[in-house]
Amino acid sequence: MTEKDFIPKKDLVYPPSGKVAWKAPSNIALVKYWGKYPAQIPANPSISFTLDASATRTTVTYEKREQPGKDFSFEFLFEGKPKEDFIPKIEIFFERIIPYLPFLKEFHFTIDSANSFPHSSGIASSASGMAALSLCLLEIEKQANPEMEDLYFQQKASFLARLGSGSACRSIAGNLIQWGETPSISQSSNLYGILYPFDVHQNFTNYHDTILLVHKGKKAVSSTVGHGLMTGHPFAAPRFQQAHENLERLQPIFATGDLESFINVVESEALTLHAMMMTSQPYFILMAANTLEIIQRIWQFRKSTRVPISFTLDAGANVHVLYPEADKERCIQFIQDELVAYCENGHYICDRNGRGAQPMVASK
Ligand code: DP6
């Protein structure tokens, strides 16, 4: 597939008005996307578990304008209230996707979005938010083109979501999603995420991710700025190469359910992501003292009990504690006894691997 495959036919007839709604989950990367080229092309391949509880619900109401305007016409509501801060981000997104959704200037849209996770939890909502919005907009195209096949719908939704936020392309369909061309996965694409095409052992079914909210405020450095700092980074080339190798290493690990090696790849990826931040110019640190306390305690607990509990990090201080379904009781007990004390106001979110976005019934 190329970009051209996502340009719709010219003669589609869109309904004059309507309402569409989707719920899209967040995701947590195991091999991290860090570094990109223009139009959201990743500098290296990544793979993520789709989450379940952390999700965005978006409803888009659309109505044909009397005259298609030069500008886009939309309102954005967050949890039912107008939210101006998001408007520039959506403008940029619409500008990027208009070649692929040419009806965008013909309609007025009311976008109403809400997150399942608390607003100031420090959890990035851009992946789930951009995925849910992309699915809603593509659903409008699908109403004009009902023959659109499911696989094409998923690929195009992921393609559009990527143009909003790179990691959002991994929040569409399926539980384990890979994005970015890499030699070990022939179907892989820089344009959209794909369902991981190889065997996955049942050890990874229902994998848990308890998100410890160490710091709930806004991050000091945004992901977009962080990606930019990989340009000219002294370790960029070996880091990008390492991501390809880690994806290849994961293939037998997923197939055989080798949790020890899984942990080795995933924790190394998390620390490498933060090592890249610490060695950028300008350098920065997003981990907090409690992030390190939690990591140390996870390592001590794993060493003394041999329970395969591990961690990963995204671009922030929060810790994602990962463990298999088979060990959930012991891990939850350990988290409550020893880790929750390091969370801001004791807050954490119990999440797990989910299956992807779902359409919602759009209320009239
Ligand atoms: C550290 O997808 O948020 O979470 O493409 O600029 O919107 P933009 O960045 P974003 O970056 C995510 C970075 C990460 C790793 C990952 O999810 O792979």
Q: Per-10-residue mean pLDDT for the chain, 364 residues long?
A: 96 97 98 96 98 97 93 95 92 98 97 87 83 98 97 98 97 98 98 98 98 86 93 98 98 98 98 98 96 98 98 96 98 98 96 98 72
Residue 56, strand partner residues? 24, 115
Cα of 303 from ligand 1 centre, angstroms:
31
Give the pLDDT score at 218: 75
Cα of 330 from ligand 1 centre, angstroms:
31
Give the pLDDT score at 118: 75
Give the pLDDT score at 122: 66
Q: How far is CA 44 from the centre of its chain?
A: 15
Give the pLDDT score at 78: 94
Atom of ligand 1 nearest to the CA of 40: 5
Pocket test for ligand 1, best of 227, 242, 276, 284 (most atoms within 8 A of CB): 227
Residue 160 token pair: 């559009």
The CA distance from 313 to 274, in Å, is 8
Give the pLDDT score at 121: 66
Atom of ligand 1 nearest to the CA of 162: 5
Cα of 267 from ligand 1 centre, angstroms:
17
Between helix 259-278 and helix 236-256 the angle, nearest 10°, is 160
Cα of 171 from ligand 1 centre, angstroms:
12
Ligand 1 pocket by C-beta < 6 Å: which residues? 29, 32-34, 40, 46, 124, 126, 165-167, 223-224, 227, 273, 314-315
Which DSSP category does 338 fall into?
Answer: I
Q: Say if CB 168 and CB 126 are below 8 A apart.
A: yes
Give the pLDDT score at 364: 58
Task: Tell how strand 46-64 and strand 17-31 pair up.
Answer: antiparallel
Give the pLDDT score at 217: 75
Give the pLDDT score at 43: 98
User: Ligand 1: which residue has its CA nearest to atom 6?
Assistant: 224
The CA distance from 175 to 334, in Å, is 26
Cα of 6 from ligand 1 centre, angstroms:
23
